[in-house]
């Protein structure tokens, strides 16, 4: 039974309740991936499988929402372009692409997100993964983002934004005091994007310094760790960043006392950039994670030296080490392979007949070729069978345990080195004490022998004198 207008108006600030009302109104079955999250105030959806009729209840309920604390919109089928010729109900133009990868679909989603961000006061996590943003869409989203004071974690992982989009995001985020982490991995960011990120960190750095100065004038104890602002930046898999973009970040972080972790896996860094990072870590002891793994042009000795310096910095900040963990290397490699494979995913490349052959398991040559290609290309974990998916998760957990054990082993090596240094120092002090003792001895060996000989002569003389007196008597 369709609810009244008053009921729908009452439920409009609550996403899940309003979504179910809208589904009843438009005669659409509610999606299970949305209704299963009803008790958690969470919206985490993969937009690739959402049909045209199912799209409007989601976006309309999202535009009026004030209850969600976690919003994630993901796409596994990444494309380098957006179909601009899709409007209204002309679905035949995008037969082999999801609705989220059309100009019409992105406009609807971005407008809904903008309204939600400008209204909500409880949203803390925003994840937009694998989407393609035009400049207009991203500027609309950043307008809403700059007015959301409650947001804490922002992720554009594997979304195509470029250097211009990175500038828009940094300009929107720099005045948000509650933002704790920013993830712009695999977003095709280059040297200009590195400059924009450095300007973001500099702006927040100046704001914190001014706040510290105000607190010091009032004779208060300034707690640096409790000050708001960005603590972690992830820029993994941006191969065009290079040493030139890295230098902007290094110069910015030399005087920074707040950023704790920066991830730079597979960013085109060479030995020159790694040496600059090593110099930075000797100056900035606040950083606990600087991840430059998976950069093939970096020498292994330099990488070990950076890890050693980070271990020394982490030993001073034990609480930060427990809070800011290293990302697993397998995760970044999986993202890289997934981004390469999902551009031509077979689900959207093949015709309906070939997909039906694959689903039915028909044992002919065409179906066999389709199945083999499917198995080779579907590198993302969401397309793997259940058993392989479980094995992949076990492998990732195993690698994480190995990494923890290697960190503990490095700790033990450092402790052993300290013990050896103390032992050498004690040996040196003992030798110095022996030398001082020998210098303070007044009689040498020859003198002692001479004294002993004189004493023996005296005793023999006295014995002879006693024997003579006894004979006379």
446-468 pLDDT, tens digit each: 777 788 888 887 888 777 776 66
Give yes or no for residue 150 having a pLDDT over 80. Answer: yes
**CB-based burial of residue 231 (10 Å sphere; 0-12 exposed, 13-18 middle, 19+ buried)?**
middle
Is residue 301 within 8 A of residue 274, CB to CB? The reply is: no
Decide which of 94 and 357 is more confident: 94
Q: Report d(CA 169, CA 301) in Å as an integer.
A: 36
Can you give the pLDDT at residue 430? 83
Cβ pair 227, 211 in contact under 8 A = yes
Of the listed ranges 71-80, 251-260, 402-411, 423-432, the one predicted with least confidence: 71-80
Contact 354, 370 (CB under 8 A): yes
Confidence of residue 439 (pLDDT cuts 50, 70, 90): low
Q: Which of 165, 108, 109 is nearest to 142 (CA)?
A: 165
What does the pLDDT average to over 283-306? Answer: 90
From CA 263, how far away is CA 124, in angstroms rounded? 21
* Mean pLDDT calculated for residue range 89-104: 66
Which DSSP category does 101 fall into?
Answer: G
What does the pLDDT read at residue 457? Answer: 79
Q: Answer yes or no: is pLDDT of 370 > 50.
A: no
Stretch (H or E) spanning 405:
helix 386-439
CA distance 68 to 120: 8
Residue 262, SS3 per DSSP: strand
Q: How far is CA 10 from the centre of its chain?
A: 40
- Tell me if 298 sits within 8 A of 292, measured CB to CB: yes
The half-sphere exposure of 193 on its side-chain side, counting CA atoms within 13 A, is 25
Q: What is the largest CA-CA distance in the chain?
A: 151
Predicted pLDDT of residue 423:
84
- Residue keyed to tokens 């990488």: 303
pLDDT category of residue 314 using cuts at 50, 70 and 90: confident
User: What is the structure's pLDDT at 209?
Assistant: 80
**What are the distances in angstroms from CA 25 to CA 37, 38, 62, 99?**
21, 19, 16, 22
Percent of the chain with pLDDT over 90: 35
Summary mean pLDDT of the chain = 77
State the pLDDT at residue 63. Answer: 93
> Is residue 375 over pLDDT 60?
no
Q: pLDDT tier at 84 (50, 70, 90 boundaries)? A: very low
The angle at the Cα of 468, spanning 465 to 472, to the nearest 5 degrees, equals 140
CATH for 5-88+95-327?
Answer: 3.80.10.10
Q: Are 237 and 335 in contact (CB under 8 A)?
A: yes
Residue with tokens 């000050």, as numbered in its chain:
227
How many separate helices (H) and strands (E) can be counted in the chain? 18, 8
Q: Which residue, chain included where needed, has tokens 């369709």?
A: 2
Instruction: Please tell me the total number of residues recorded for the chain in this structure.
Output: 473
């Amino acid at each position: 039974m369709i609810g009244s207008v008053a009921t729908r108006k009452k439920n409009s600030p609550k996403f899940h309740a309003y979504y179910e009302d809208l589904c009843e109104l438009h005669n659409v079955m509610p999606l299970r991936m949305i209704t299963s999250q009803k008790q958690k105030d969470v919206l985490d959806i993969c937009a690739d499988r959402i049909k045209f009729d199912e799209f409007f209840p989601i976006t309309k309920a999202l535009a009026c929402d004030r209850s969600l604390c976690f919003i994630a919109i993901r796409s596994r089928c990444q494309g380098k372009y957006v179909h601009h010729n899709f409007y209204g109900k002309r679905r035949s133009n995008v037969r082999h692409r999801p609705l989220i990868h059309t100009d019409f679909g992105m406009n609807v989603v971005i407008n809904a997100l903008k309204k939600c961000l400008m209204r909500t006061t409880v949203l803390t996590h925003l994840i937009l993964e694998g989407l393609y943003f035009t400049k207009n869409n991203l500027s609309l989203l950043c307008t809403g983002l700059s007015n959301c004071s409650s947001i804490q974690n922002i992720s554009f992982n594997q979304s195509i934004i470029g250097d211009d989009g990175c500038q828009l995001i940094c300009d929107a985020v720099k005045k948000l005091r509650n933002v704790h982490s920013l993830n712009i991995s695999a977003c095709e960011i280059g040297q200009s994007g590195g400059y924009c990120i450095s300007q973001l960190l500099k702006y927040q750095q100046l704001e914190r310094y001014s706040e510290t100065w105000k607190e010091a004038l009032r004779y208060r104890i300034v707690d640096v760790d409790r000050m708001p602002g960005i603590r972690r930046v992830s820029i993994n898999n941006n191969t065009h960043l290079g040493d030139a973009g890295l230098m902007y970040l290094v110069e910015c972080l030399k005087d920074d006392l707040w950023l704790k972790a920066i991830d730079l896996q597979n960013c085109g860094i060479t030995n020159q950039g790694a040496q600059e990072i090593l110099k930075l870590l000797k100056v900035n002891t606040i950083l606990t994670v600087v991840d430059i793994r998976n950069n093939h042009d970096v020498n292994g000795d330099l990488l070990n030296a950076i890890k050693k310096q980070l271990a020394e910095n982490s030993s001073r900040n034990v609480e930060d080490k427990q809070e800011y963990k290293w990302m697993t290397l397998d995760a970044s490699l999986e993202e890289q392979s997934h981004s390469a494979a999902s551009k031509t995913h077979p689900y959207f490349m093949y015709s309906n007949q070939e997909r039906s052959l694959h689903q039915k398991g028909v044992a002919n040559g065409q179906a066999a070729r389709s199945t083999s290609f499917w198995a080779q290309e579907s590198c993302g974990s969401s397309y793997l069978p259940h058993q392989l998916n479980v094995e992949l998760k076990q492998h990732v957990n195993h690698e994480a345990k190995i990494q923890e054990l290697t960190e503990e082993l490095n700790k033990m090596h450092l402790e052993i080195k300290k013990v050896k240094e103390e032992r050498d120092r004690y040996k040196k002090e003992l030798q110095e004490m022996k030398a001082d003792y020998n210098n303070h001895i007044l009689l040498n060996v020859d003198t002692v022998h001479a004294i002993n000989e004189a004493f023996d002569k005296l005793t023999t003389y006295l014995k002879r004198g006693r024997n003579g007196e006894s004979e006379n008597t």
